[in-house]
Structure 1
Amino acid sequence: MPRNKSIVLLSVGHACVDVYQGAVAALVPFFVAERAYTYAAASGIVLAAGLLSSVAQPFFGALTDRRPVPWLLPVSTVLGGLGVALSGISGSYALTLLFVALSGIGVAAYHPESARVARVAAAGSHSSMGWFSLGGNVGFAAAPLLVTVVIATGGLRFSPLLILPALVGSVLTLPILRALEQAPRGEGGEEAADGRDDWASFVRLSLAVVCRSIVFVGLSTFVALHARQQTGGGTAAGTAALFVLYLGGAVGTLVGSRLAHRWDRVTVVRMSYLITVGAVAGVVFVPGPAIHLFVALTSIGLYVPFSLQVTLAQDYLPTRVGTAGGITLGLTVSVGGLTSPLIGTVADATSLRTALMPLILMPAVSWLLFRTLPEPAVPKRLLGNRNEDAARTTTAGSPETSR
């Protein structure tokens, strides 16, 4: 299958899965409104989706490193959608936690194998991996709109309709599965690993990803409520803030893949985190409609590193690309969910603004962790593709070509 077609299918499928990560946070205001949940109870729902995902992520990553399991793509997509679809049909808090946890397992199962397949399809291209990651960002961005349209129309009892993207995404994976079955051994299935694993650098990168995750999931959970307080607006103001947070991620992902062709990935990621510190401070402290501008800047700053961290992790662990991709793609949303109940508890005891203040420090910690990270050596089998991509980007932006 041509690279462009396979990446498009993988990107759209990624969107159909990650819409459910965004949907959990988007459902929080509706749970608060219909079921009178406290901040702590509402954030516990995000925790349920993230906790099992965090625990399961290393297992699925190790599984894909032992042998390819492409059938996980359609199965995990349906599982992720089913959990969210069932979350609104029962008033039981325990069942709601169970259903969103089921969705979290589906998401955990999807990311390591999809990252491995995307690496094979992208042949090491930053741009192709950027487009694959963009699919997840688009899914996040679409989540609050999808949830608002469906739930605002008929309430939480309409949540079964939310399974539709999962059904579409699972169908889109079928051509990928057929292409992998037909590909010669070593092209569509297993990769020949070269290079040594740099675990020390990978651990530091993973800690930076965790700090980024805390900011993003914390804002995903509470920015809708915070924006309503800061602007004095209603549900529309909160939904707009959440939409901007997710949509800005799509912009940041594409910008990051472009910048990586001009500077090395570590430099791009490091500078992005430094700029994000001020953007998060603006979200927390700036009142009125201007908060949406800072939400956009924060989102772009958090997502410029997104696809770059995936390829960095895979280059740090060239013999364990499933584990590397699973952690950097999965932990960006799952581990951050573990801190959401703490933010909610502080918000209940003080104020939501006070609870969000510690998030300002997290990008600074990520910057410190990246400050002395080395740029990893690119595996030889991928180096030609990345150089070809860089040359294409340079030529496309040259004055001769533009004329």
Structure 2
Amino acid sequence: MVPLLAVGHACVDVYQGAVASLVPFFVAERAYGYAAVSGVVLAASLLSSVAQPVFGALTDRRPMPWLLPLSTLLGGVGIALSALGGSYGWTLAFVAVSGVGVAAYHPESARVARAVSGGSHRAMGWFSLGGNVGFALAPLLVAGVDGAGGLALAPLLVVPALVGAVLCLPVVGEGRRQPEAEGEAPVRVADDRGSFLRLSLAVVCRSVVFVGLGTFVSLYAAGRLGGGTAAGTAALVVLYAGGAVGSLLGGALADRWGRVAVARWSYLLTAGALAGLLLVPGPALYGFTALTSMGLYVPFSLQVTLAQDYLPSRIGTASGVTLGLTVSVGGLAAPLVGALADATSLRTALAPLVLMPLLAWLFFRTLPEPVTEAAASPTVAAGAPGS
């Protein structure tokens, strides 16, 4: 069931990656400036920042696996229509609709993935990998469709949503099952809200870097290296593909050294790699982009399971807040980066992002490795993989 969830996750996260992938085409066909395209990213994030925790709280009250196919369709239809909007306002509205769809999908899918995997770090890494693959495919999909016929062919972008909705149908029945449906109920561990808050602040810092790069790295690469949208698309592919590698590494490394330690060191790597991306000239930009992406994504699935273990009584809320902050806060910050880029240069505007991974590292220095329900219950620990 986890592989099916991972593929469905890819089909949904195509539409998170598609927002940034459409940016060069909005600039080319509609003459949007940096501030305007960052406003598009903000529209995708604004409602999501509110809706995702709300959907998480709702799934804590009652499983809602039917949200998976419905939200997948909503995400795809919003993006497909956003490129056809005749005005900037309609573009923002349709992108916002897509953002709500993506927001509705993630808390419930994370709950189901945890339930069917027994909380395994590796399984959650594979689930997260699906989203990274979707991100990585988005620039290729958008470039293939819009590159062939411009924004007029954008309705074809709904195809992954149709595929993902069909793949979600078998999960709907499985998702109705509670994680404690079989066997003895695990010992409950008290919520650690202080650690959850500090973890959330670290996720905020990560979000600002990831969304800022996702919005502007294609334009930055094109300006630094030439090559137009092809160079920009290549940079986005590298950014998202590096994330796929990082997700798998995160689960494997955490099994050996622990989630908190692995996340802490990955953020230090990210700060150095991001500085190299901005300062080292030439095609090395692509190598530093890959390292930055890996550093940002090694902690990704680990942060989700940490949040769930810090708030064991509110799994959906923990997932919704953590996954929501992953994109939403960065989207809120993107217009500031765009406005600074319009006033100075894109490199100058991106330079402050180097501080964000360092702040995330500081927050992780204060976090304990949580005691999980499985660890607290010998009966459950004997049968649960990788908790």
Give the TM-score category using the shorter length: over 0.9
- Aligned partner letter, 1:301: G
Query: Is residue 115–residue 178 contact of structure 2 (8 Å, CA) maintained in 1?
Result: no
Q: CA deviation at 1:334?
A: 1.7
C-alpha separation in 1, matches of 2:261 and 2:288: 23
What secondary structure is seen at the aligned counterpart in 2 of 1:261?
Answer: helix
What secondary structure is seen at the aligned counterpart in 1 of 2:312?
Answer: coil
What number of residue pairs does the alignment pair up?
381
Deviations 1:242-270 (A, max 9, x none): 00000000000000100011111100000
- Aligned partner letter, 2:371: A
For 1:329-368, list aligned pairs within 5 A.
329-368=323-362
For 1:88-107, list aligned pairs within 5 A.
88-107=83-102
- Aligned partner letter, 1:215: V
Q: CA deviation at 1:201?
A: 0.2
Matched, 1:62 2:57: yes
For 1:250-399, list aligned pairs within 5 A.
250-380=244-374, 383-384=381-382, 388-389=385-386
Counterpart pick for 1:142 among 137, 143, 163: 137
For 1:218-237, list aligned pairs within 5 A.
218-237=212-231
Query: Is residue 115–residue 179 contact of structure 2 (8 Å, CA) maintained in 1?
Result: no
Task: Give the structure 1 partner of residue 69 of structure 2.
Answer: 74
Moved runs in structure 1, 4+ residues, more than 2 A? 178-181, 183-188, 380-386
Task: Give the structure 2 partner of residue 398 of structure 1.
Answer: none
TM (norm. structure 1) is 0.92
- Aligned partner letter, 2:108: E
Gaps of 5+ in 1: 1-5, 391-403
- Which moved further from structure 2: 170-179 or 145-154? 170-179
C-alpha separation in 2, matches of 1:116 and 1:141: 24
Counterpart pick for 2:200 among 180, 183, 206: 206
Query: Is residue 107–residue 320 contact of structure 2 (8 Å, CA) maintained in 1?
Result: yes
Task: Give the structure 1 partner of residue 38 of structure 2.
Answer: 43
What secondary structure is seen at the aligned counterpart in 1 of 2:370?
Answer: coil
C-alpha separation in 1, matches of 2:101 and 2:186: 28
Query: Is residue 120–residue 187 contact of structure 1 (8 Å, CA) maintained in 2?
Result: no
- Aligned partner letter, 1:383: A
Change (3 A) 1:269 1:185: closer
Let me know the Cα RMSD of the aligned residues.
1.5
Q: CA deviation at 1:178?
A: 2.5
Q: CA deviation at 1:185?
A: 8.3
Percent identity for Structure 1 against Structure 2: 68
Q: CA deviation at 1:288?
A: 1.2
C-alpha separation in 1, matches of 2:205 and 2:120: 26
Change (3 A) 1:160 1:385: farther
Query: Is residue 23–residue 140 contact of structure 1 (8 Å, CA) maintained in 2?
Result: yes
What secondary structure is seen at the aligned counterpart in 1 of 2:256?
Answer: coil
Q: CA deviation at 1:186?
A: 3.8
C-alpha separation in 2, matches of 1:224 and 1:155: 17
C-alpha separation in 1, matches of 2:174 and 2:205: 37
C-alpha separation in 2, matches of 1:192 and 1:83: 41
C-alpha separation in 2, matches of 1:215 and 1:41: 19
- Aligned partner letter, 2:262: V
C-alpha separation in 2, matches of 1:196 and 1:229: 51
Q: CA deviation at 1:233?
A: 2.4
TM (norm. structure 2) is 0.96
Deviations 1:330-366 (A, max 9, x none): 2211211111111000000000000000000000000
C-alpha separation in 2, matches of 1:154 and 1:44: 24
- Which moved further from structure 2: 227-236 or 55-64? 227-236
